[in-house]
Amino acid sequence: MTFAAWSERLMSMSDEVWARHANPWSGWSRLTILPLLALSLWSRVWLGWGALLPLALTLAWVWLNPRVFPPPRDRSSWMTRGVLGERIWLDRAAHPLPPRLVAACHALTVLSALGALAMAWGLIRLDAFWTVAGMAVAMLAKLVLVRLMVVMHDRITGVRRNTS
């Protein structure tokens, strides 16, 4: 089982949940997760064990986010197409994807993971530079990955849009 399949199962991502997650508000509000995670972990300095509360709230937000918004009224939004592209990516065995696109998605996933590791290092050492730099790399790589998911969605569905 791949990490993506494992995380999809952990998040209980049913067809209904994916439909809700395709709402652009869901996609854009997920950008709050890494900053909230960093802040909740850093808060151990001020809150001690009380930092488990903001951490639990952040983890609850991770799970609730794809569920709290209604399905989008239409599927033309950039973020909606990105989420729908992610669904295609997760089921890529059923879709012929250009090898360069697949390689770029893998490279961006690795870059995002490296950013997350740098962020984790910063959080362990309470080093603001590594925390913020790692978060920035992870988030920027993820946004470029969403851009590739939009390209993937548009190619597979035959949609022709100006995505610049």
Instruction: Please state the rounded mean pLDDT for residues 92-121.
Output: 93
Amino acid found at 23: N
CB 40 within 8 A of CB 54: yes
Whether residue 73 has pLDDT greater than 50:
yes
Q: What is the pLDDT of residue 137?
A: 98
CA distance 16 to 53: 29
| Lookup: tokens for 144 | 């470029």
Whether residue 6 has pLDDT greater than 80:
no
pLDDT in tens, 134-157: 999 999 999 999 999 999 999 988
Q: Measuring CA to CA, how many Å separate 88 from each of 92, 127, 157?
A: 6, 38, 10
Split at pLDDT 50, 70, 90, the class of 2 is low
Q: What is the pLDDT of residue 10?
A: 62
Poorest-pLDDT segment among 4-8, 11-15, 89-93: 4-8
Q: What is the pLDDT of residue 58?
A: 97
Element (H, E) at 92: none
Q: What is the pLDDT of residue 4?
A: 59
Q: What angle is formed at CA 17 by the lines to CA 11 and CA 23, rounded to 5 degrees?
A: 115
Long-range contacts, 87-92 (Cβ 8 Å, 24+): 87/18, 88/149, 88/152, 88/153, 88/156, 89/4, 89/149, 89/152, 90/4, 90/5, 90/8
Whether residue 70 has pLDDT greater than 90:
yes
Long-range contacts, 93-96 (Cβ 8 Å, 24+): 95/156
Whether residue 75 has pLDDT greater than 70:
yes
Instruction: Please state the rounded mean pLDDT for residues 31-53.
Output: 96
